Amino acid sequence: MDIVEMIKELVMVPGVSGFEEPIRRYLLEKLKDVGPKTDKVGNIYVTLGDGDEHVAFMAHMDEIGFVTTHIEENGYIRFSPVGGVDDRMLYGRLVEIFTERGIIHGVIGLIPPHLSTAEDRKKLPSWKELAIDVGARDKKDAEDMGLKPILPGRWKKDFIVMGKYIVTRGIDDRAGCAVLLELLERIKEKELKKKVTFVWTIQEETGLRGAEAMADRMDFDEVYAIDSMTSGVMPGVPFYLSPVKPGEGPAIRFVDRRGVSCSVLKDKVLRIAAKHGIPVQLAITGGSTDAAAVFTHGIRALPICIPVKYTHSPVEMSHVADIKNTVELLEKIVED
C-alpha cells in the first residue's frame, strides 16, 4: 500500500489518548504476520533480528480529543479535552463521540452574529463554557442514544492530498505509525546485524506514559522516537521558534521543552544522512516526544520528526517527501 493511503487509513481509525483500543486492533491486524506483542498497558511491539546491539523505533498511536463528562437535563453534552487541545479549534466544530453502539455525531455550536454583540464576537470561549449538541430533546433522549460520561470523542476528520502535501487532523502521529509499518515491511526479510524493535506507544499526548512503561522493561541501547515537529513556516509566527521547513527533510528535534536529546545519536544520524544524501534538518522547538521519557531511563534517545504545519489543529499539513525520506533514513540507521 502507498504510504499516503496508509496514513489516510490510520488517521481515520479512532484512538483518543487513553482510549486506544480501535487503533490498537487495527495495528495488530496489520502486524499479524510478524508476531506482534502487547504489554500490560497496551503498547504494541515487534522485534526482528538478533545480535548484541538493540535499536528501537517508537511512534505513538494515540491522538488528542476529548472525553464526555456530563449530560445536561436539556440533552447537551459537556466534555473535557484530552491532550494538547487549543480552545480555538473547538468553536463551531462537528465532532464524533464513540459509544458502544457506534459513532454519535454532534456539534459544538457557534452562536450566530444575529444573536451576539460585537463584543461577544471578540471573545474566545474556553472548553468549560461549551457543550456538544447531539440533537437530543433532553437527558433521557441523549442516554437512549447511548451517550453517557467517560466516552472518547474527536473532531470529524477530512483527508486531502493538496499537491505535494497531505492535510488532515492526526498526522501527529499516525504518519509516524505508517513510517514504522513501512520500515518493518522493508526489512522483515533481511538478515539483520542487530536486534530491531518497533514500538507503537499509548498515551504520548497525555504524558508520554506508554514510552515510560516500555523503557522501564526493555533492554534498548538506543531509541528513535518518530513523531512530528511543528514548522514555523506560517504567517504571524517567528520562524526561529520552530525553524524547520516542510519539504526539506525529516528533522532531528534536538532540543524541546523536556530538554536536550542524545548528542551521540544526533551526530550518528547526521553522518548517516550525509553519507546517503538524505536531507535532514536540525532544530529546536516546543512540546516533547516519547524520546524524553526514554532518556530519563538512561537510554540514548533521539526524536526524528516529520515537519508539520498547524500542529494539533484540524488542518495539520505535511510534505509527502519528508515522510518518505524519514523511512529512507530509518532504513539506513538499521543497516549502519
Give catalytic residues, as residue numbers: 204
Task: Show the DSSP H helices in the chain as ranges.
Answer: 3-12, 21-30, 139-144, 171-187, 209-215, 263-276, 290-295, 320-335
C-alpha cell at position 89:
479549534
Cα 290 from Cα 201, distance rounded (Å) = 8
Neighbours of 115 (CB within 10 A): 7
Among 1, 56, 8, 2, CA closest to 318: 8
φ/ψ of residue 57, rounded to 5: -120, 125
How far is it between the farthest Cα atoms of the chain?
Answer: 69
Give the three-class secondary structure for 97.
strand
| Rounded (5°) CA angle 172-236-206 | 30
Whether residue 286 contacts residue 86, with contact meaning beta carbons closer than 8 Å, is answered with: no
Closest C-alpha to 222, from 202, 194, 250: 194
Q: What is the DSSP letter of 330?
A: H
From the CB of residue 39, how many other CB atoms can be counted at a distance below 10 Å? Answer: 17
Residue 136 to residues 81, 130, 132, 144, 314, Cα–Cα distance (Å): 22, 16, 10, 9, 26
Considering only CA atoms, give the Rg of the chain: 21
d(CA 277, CA 306): 17
* Nearest in space to 106 (alpha carbons), one of 168, 169, 140, 154: 154
